[in-house]
Chains A and B, each alone.
Chain A
């Protein structure tokens, strides 16, 4: 009996000291990149023994926690402006790309058949185009048999980075949207109904005939929703795919001098998908030692994590952008 007790005690001690001895990084923030960060962290732990504890409490919470310096790094779906970063003494770099895809449920229309341009998407979400047989949509899709059906617009009911990317896109390409609604994690929608989470929007679109919604690329792909083809800045109609997201990230002008402050919307490339955004990591400038550990993790992930990210339907940063980020780390003395 005593022997067993001693064994148990020593085992417990070993576990406890082991846990304390192992290095640990704490991060908090955006919910969107949580699956890929935790998948990377899992592999990284196997390779290096370093543990990463990421809490997906939302972008707002992530910014708050890193500002108060309670975590080693914060994560936000929306980039912070350079002046805000300077005021909070933070560093910022992109980690992974997310795309937003408008999806539809119109009887008789298959995935990739419906073509829309920025004006059409904007007017549908403004509630100005009310029917699928509107001349504007017909003009874009002369060969498609559009039904006479009232459009049901679906948006997110909860605050989310997906909404921030989508509304920023609309603000970029549509002055009326910028004036009346604007960009935000949740906005006051002129039209439509709200679904909770990507799954809520996906579900409403699937259930409701003649509806349109917007979801993360991963959800569109996994749920086999009928995606639309969107006309980009260069004037070509593009399909949402890893290639078109990467093209957007590669051609967009991410500037290390501005701490990569950029929404990836309406990218200039010919093959660029127009509605996308990077999700960002925030570091406390003065905490060099923990920053180097965080950077080491992301450096490892940039070099070894692309296939894992794609497996989870995230878009890894293109090579050119990775080099820019590495340059940013070096110039700030944390790599």
Chain B
């Protein structure tokens, strides 16, 4: 309950803005306080929120400073488009890791979002009351598992299952089709983009599911009951009443999951192989930005190598920022349309 509540608060803070006018009034109110206790309290909260901004700026400064050597050496466009990653000759590029980050994240979202919406619909609309509690707790427990445990489980349990059963089966079915077949070429070893994406997908299901469930619960009971009263089926109610009412929340949950998936490290570090290349097959080893950092940081022995790793981190920082900004932009736009 508590975890879910926190997610929801986080979401509303991130994505739902109070009307602009109201905010203006409130911010003026801070300074017109006569009561010293109140003034002190306002000051304290302001300092608390400022620390966040200071931390972000501080991290950005450190990343830029540490990566300046690599920035000077490789430039921006060259670094982003180069597929080279050779610590021995000292030539580094980010294209392969950016590619890996996007592919794993996109696949994970494809696995996770339908499942999460299914869970949320079941829990809010279909499940009998006895089942609602246990399923809710199970989802929250899934969110509480540390990512290193997903990583170990992925390496020792999921990877062998994928390589022995799932991947050969995929190769023998979808892999035989034209065009799509290219995605399933190669020897199925279980250490690849597909396995990593499945683990990521499982990890982000609870985020999306919790928020979707809360959004579904916000649908006014009166509206739902009216729909049932005029003879709508369960499917029609979900499709025409619940989903339209809560699509913002679902979208917000997906955006949060996206942020989580982009930055996830340990769960994928074990099953992705840290191979710096652009793999066209999902059954091929690859690398993401975080996986490269986790794998190579401790033993990066030259200044340029270390600086390039910082540069990768900077790229991820900016990338996450842009992606979250875009999702927020769409949310705001949708909200405006919706509230009218």
Contacts and interface: CB of A to CB of B under 8 A. Distances in A.
Given A60-B300, A193-B285, A207-B160, A158 B295 contact: yes
A78 B301 contact: yes
A92 to B, nearest CB: 15
A187 B296 contact: no
Contacts of B191: 193-195, 204
Interface residues of B, number: 32
Given A152-B189, A203-B156, A204-B191, A186 B87 contact: yes
Contacts of B301: 59-60, 63, 78, 159, 184-185
Interface in B163-212: 163, 187, 189-191
Nearest to A182: B88
B299 A60 contact: yes
B285 A188 contact: no
A196 B159 CA distance: 14
Interface core residue of A164, A184, A186, A195 (most chain B CB under 10 Å): A186
A157 B294 CA distance: 10
A188 B85 contact: yes
A196 B269 contact: yes
A335 interface: no
Contacts of B269: 157, 196
A57 B306 CA distance: 14
A150 B187 CA distance: 10
B4 interface: no
A160 interface: yes
B319 to A, nearest CB: 22
A31 interface: yes
Contact of B89 (A157, A158, A160, A182): A182
A241 interface: no
A31 B87 CA distance: 20
A182 B88 CA distance: 6
B249 interface: no
Contacts of A195: 191, 273
Nearest to B285: A193
Q: Is the interface of B mostly helix, strand, loop or mixed?
A: loop
Contact of B87 (A63, A184, A193, A203): A184
A184 B274 CA distance: 16
B251 interface: no
B112 interface: no
A188 B276 CA distance: 8
Given A157-B274, A196-B269, A57 B87 contact: no
A181 B270 CA distance: 24
A242 B297 CA distance: 31
Nearest to B302: A60
Contact of A159 (B85, B89, B276, B295): B295
A210 to B, nearest CB: 10
B14 to A, nearest CB: 33
B298 A61 contact: yes
B217 interface: no
B299 A193 contact: no
Contacts of B294: 158
A196 B291 CA distance: 10
B275 interface: yes
Nearest to A189: B275
Nearest to A159: B299
Given A200-B270, A207-B160, A185 B299 contact: yes
Contact of A194 (B155, B163, B274): B274
A208 interface: yes
A161 B301 CA distance: 11
Interface core residue of B187, B190, B295 (most chain A CB under 10 Å): B295
Given A158-B274, A207-B160, A58 B87 contact: no
A236 interface: no
Given A150-B187, A187-B88, A159 B273 contact: no
A161 B299 CA distance: 8
A208 B86 CA distance: 27
Nearest to B86: A188
A96 to B, nearest CB: 18
Nearest to B191: A193
A33 B187 CA distance: 36
Contacts of A164: 299
A196 B294 CA distance: 10
Nearest to B276: A188
Interface string B277-313: 0000000010000000011111111000010000000
Interface pairs A-B: 6 shortest CB-CB: A58-B298, A159-B299, A157-B274, A182-B88, A158-B295, A185-B299
14 contacts: A59-B299, A158-B294, A159-B298, A159-B300, A159-B301, A188-B276, A193-B275, A193-B285, A194-B274, A195-B273, A196-B295, A203-B155, A203-B156, A204-B189
Interface of A: 31, 57-61, 63, 78, 150, 152, 157-161, 164, 181-189, 193-196, 200, 203-204, 207-208
Given A181-B88, A194-B275, 10 more contacts: A59-B299, A150-B187, A160-B299, A182-B89, A187-B88, A188-B85, A194-B191, A195-B273, A196-B269, A203-B155
